Structure formats: structure tokens, C-alpha cells
Structure 1
Amino acid sequence: MKLVTWNTQWCCGNDGIVSPRRIVDGARQLADFDVLCLQEIAVNYPRLRGDASGDQPAQLAALLPGFQLFFGAAVDEWEGGERRRFGNLIATRLPVAQVQHHPLPYPPDAGVRSMPRMCTVVTVTDPALGPVRIMTTHLEFYSKVQRMAQARALRELHAQYSAQAAAPPEHSSDGSPFQGKVHTGRAVLCGDFNLEAREPEYATISAEGDDAPLWDAWRLLHGKQPHPPTFRIHDRTYGPDPVACDFVFISDALKGKVRRLWLDGETQVSDHQPVAVELA
């Protein structure tokens, strides 16, 4: 299974052009992906740089024939009588078992710029790996208080899913909403975490000594070698130096399945760089 994760900056490149097509083309150049996880997907935000007034989930669906797309809006608001949405999207050509959207904590942090955040979870069935829980998210950039609360919530969410897999509820095949679900300990958590590997939120998410650890795919392959930067490489609007903040975490059940992790450090069709991982 090949997965690509990318913060698209509402599909806006460093040249100010908004183009979902360039995002899809860039992801395809990076990998023949089975799963595509995108952050910062917009619906009807004309005042964003480059004009994101379109319905980007619909545009992406047209560009990805053969894929199912699942959009989770972290922000769902009305302005001037018009609905606007902003969030994460998972597209996959693998069979889908279930989809869930989880709002993440949004504690007060007075006077600090922020917006709501969420995690989209899609359980797919890979022919070689079996059921895999794909989780994609985008944590708060400005508020450290909110970012830590969100990191803890992701840990709790993964632990809950893992516990359900270990001790599933009563099975039912009655065709009701209570009917049996696909529970799996095999999971991938990816996205833009807006933090570096040296920060406490990173340790909170990974919690490698926990009963349900999450392993950084880069470190599984490369040990203590520094992560390649994924942000502020070509555009220094948000800081002076390049940093790595887009990660792929792997559950314990998939720890031995990571074959490769690579990225495109050259593309400028977003202010972040896309990251790909292969599990086999």
C-alpha cells in the first residue's frame, strides 16, 4: 500500500495560483498512491489567497476517477448567508469499510489566533495488509495550548480504536447500525502536525512505551537521522528556517511493514512538501 500525505494550502502554490489539478498531478508524480490524505481543503473561501471559492472536494473527485473521497470539515461556517468549509480529505481506491470524523479539542487560549481542528478516519482493506485504519489530521499552528490538547486527543483516539480491535463489541449481522464493524489495530496517522520532533507534543503522540504505541515511519527506517524538511523550504512566510512537521506514524501492528518513506522537496504547488510511504 502506498500513501501520500500533503498539506495543500487550499491547493494554492507559492505563485498564488489555486489549482487542485496541480496537487493531484504532483501527488501522482511522487507515487502511484492507493490512499491520498490532503489537509487544508477549502469550499467557498473567495478571500483566501488566490481565490478558493470553488468546491475543492468536488473538483478533486473529478480528477480522481476510481477513488472514493471523504471530506471532513473542521470549520463549517456561514458568512453573508454563504456556507464555507475547510478541513481534511482522504481519497482511496481501496475498498472502504467505514468512515468517521472526530473534532479535536479546542480549549480557550485568549488572544491567540486559532481555528477548530479535526481528524478524519477511513478504514480501508488492503489485499496484502488487511484492514488498515487511515487517520489524517492538521493540528493548530499558533496555539501551543490547543496543539497539546489535540495531540493528547489523537493518542486517546488511537488507544480507543486499538482497544476495540483487541476486545470487539458483540457481533451482529442484523443490518442495523449495531451490526458488526471492522476493528483493526493496523493504523496510519499522518498529516501536518505543526510541530517538530523535538517538541513535547511529538512525544505525546508517539508514546512508544504505551500499550498502543505509534512509531514515526521516518525513524523506523533512518533511526536518529534528522527528518527532511517539509515546510518553509521555498516560502519563509511563517518562519526563517525549513522544518519537518508533516509526519507519518505507524501502529505497532504495522511496525515491520514500512518499506520506504520519501518526499518531493522541489514542488512549489503548495507551501508544504508531499510525503509518501510504502507499506508491504
Structure 2
Amino acid sequence: MRVVSWNIHWGCGKDGRIRIHAIIDVLRKLNPDIICLQEVAANHPELEGSATANQFKQLAGAFGGFHPVEHAPSEIYRNNVPRLFGNLILSKYRITQAHRHLLPWPADPDSPPGMPRGAIEVVLDTPGSKLRLVTTHLEYHSPLQRSAQVRRLRELHAEASARARIFAAHADMDAPYQLGERPASAIYCGDFNMAPGDADYGALLAPGLDGAPALVDAWTAQHPGRVRAPTTGLHGYPWPDKPDCYDYFFVTEDLARRVAAVEVQSETAASDHQPVVLDLVPGT
């Protein structure tokens, strides 16, 4: 089972041109089962390169055998046309549930306004097991907002884990009530906009809240002692000023033993972030 997470920077290269086809080409070569994307845009002509196309539809159409779930926390209307900016999951595996979470966005007088942030949570039937997959893109400018978003992700994880301990769907339930079956086993991925030594990184990986299984950084689990590969700052982009890591896969403790590989694909210059690839062996 292969999962790819990538902040695609709405397909805009360092020359200011948008090439969604280049993003699609890289993803096809990686041959994923699940694709998690951040910074997908639709109807945003003011973005660099003029992102006027609906990239959610372009990407979903390019992977016709995948089921798409999108969430655009930033939804602005101009002349009754929605301008969307957010996250997208594409999955070969059957999705049994989808939850779109808006993350906290507290007012911060010491920071630029920023934008609404969210997380997509899906429940997947994967080979041998059912698990949750969450992809997100946390605040960059405001540490106050990012810390609040980390706390909310932990609360959502604890909530799902608590429900997993007490809830089981059965055929007699009306369909909407069957949404409570959210496994504790989970993968969290995306652009977290924090470095490995940051306080928010430590807070996310702190011992499980209310009995929830703790999260493990899949990179450090797979590569103990190895220098972490940067996920940004390559290929001459103006941001950031040096190579660094902001993009991660975190897995629950029970999934850590199933991690076969975690790698950063540093070759492509199609975005100012690099794709991160997680391989899991099937569950039993």
C-alpha cells in the first residue's frame, strides 16, 4: 500500500507558470494507491500563474479509478463564483466515510491574517484492515493558530479512538448513524508547517490523549539516526531560505511496525514542496 502526500503549490513552478500536467506525471510515476494533496486551487486568477482552472476536477479526472474527496477551507465568492483553495484525497481503496474538519483560526494580532485551515478524514478499506487517513495543511504565519490546530488534531484523534472502543455499526442502524465507526489506527499526513524540533511537533507526538494511541513520526521510525531529507527549499525556489522539512507522515503505534519505507522524492521541481511517499505492508 503506497500513500503519497504533496503540497503541490497549485502546480506553480519557480518560473511562475502553472503545469498541473507535470504534477500528474510525477504522481503517475510514483504509482500510489492513495494520493493526498495540499494547496489545490480552483477559480483563483489572482494566484501566481493565474489558477483559473478547477484543479480539483483536473486531478480527479486524471485518476479516473480513484475516488476523490475534496475540502476547500478557503471558499471565497466573487460574482457568485466560488474560489477554492484546500486539500484533496484520491483513493483506489473503498472509502466508507468522509469527514471534513475546519481547524481553529483564532484571531492573532501579531500575525498576518492567514487563511482558514482544514483536515480531510476518510475511513478506508485497505488490504487486511480498515484505517483512518487524515491529510491537512496547518498555518504557516501564526504560531498561535498552528498550535491551536495541533491541539484540535489531537482532540479529533482522541475522539475517533474513543468511539472505536465503544462503537460498532450494525445493519439495523439507519445509515447516518453508521458514521460512528472510525478506527483508532490512523495515518496523518500533509504540510504541517513545523520543523522536527518545534514545540508543536513535540505536542503532536506527545503520549496519547485520553487513551488514544500515540502518533509516531514514520520517518524516524523507519530511519533512526538518519538525517531527515528536506521537503522544501530545493530547486531554487525563493521560499524558504534554506532546505527544511515541513511535510510528514505520522502513524499510530500499531501501524509503525507495518511501515516498509518513507522517502522524499527530491528530484521533481514541479512544486516548492517535494512529494513524500509512505509504503505500508498489508495488515493482518
Query: TM-score category by the smaller chain?
Result: over 0.9
- Identity among equivalent positions (%) equals 37
Change (3 A) 1:270 1:170: closer
Cross-structure match for 1:120: 120
Cross-structure match for 2:187: 188
Q: TM-score, normalised by structure 2?
A: 0.93
Deviations 1:93-140 (A, max 9, x none): 101110000000001111522111000011111123x11111000000
Q: In structure 2, how many angstroms separate the alpha carbons of the residues matched to 1:156 and 1:261?
A: 26
Letter in 1 for 2:271: S
Change (3 A) 1:28 1:179: same
The Cα RMSD (Å) is: 1.6
Deviations 1:117-170 (A, max 9, x none): 000011111123x11111000000100100111011111111111111112167
Q: Secondary structure at the match of 2:10?
A: coil
Change (3 A) 1:62 1:244: same
CA shift at 1:176, angstroms? 3.4
Q: Secondary structure at the match of 1:10?
A: helix
Q: Does 1:72 align with 2:63?
A: no
CA shift at 1:236, angstroms? 4.4
Where do 5+ consecutive residues of structure 2 fail to align? none
Moved over 3 A (4+): 169-172, 179-182, 208-211
CA shift at 1:10, angstroms? 0.9
Change (3 A) 1:208 1:111: closer
Q: Does 1:225 align with 2:226?
A: yes
Q: Secondary structure at the match of 1:179?
A: helix
Q: Say if 2:232 and 2:240, in contact at 8 Å, map to a contact too.
A: no
Q: Does 1:262 align with 2:250?
A: no
Aligned length: 278
Cross-structure match for 2:56: 57
Q: Say if 1:97 and 1:182, in contact at 8 Å, map to a contact too.
A: no
Q: In structure 2, how many angstroms separate the alpha carbons of the residues matched to 1:179 and 1:247?
A: 31
Q: In structure 2, how many angstroms separate the alpha carbons of the residues matched to 1:169 and 1:209?
A: 22
Shifted more, 243-252 versus 232-241: the winner is 232-241
Q: Secondary structure at the match of 1:61?
A: helix
Superposition pairs of residues 1-280 of structure 1, within 5 angstroms: 1-29=1-29, 31-110=30-109, 112-113=111-112, 114-128=114-128, 130-168=129-167, 171=170, 173-179=172-178, 181-208=180-207, 211=211, 212-280=213-281
CA shift at 1:235, angstroms? 3.5
Letter in 1 for 2:20: P
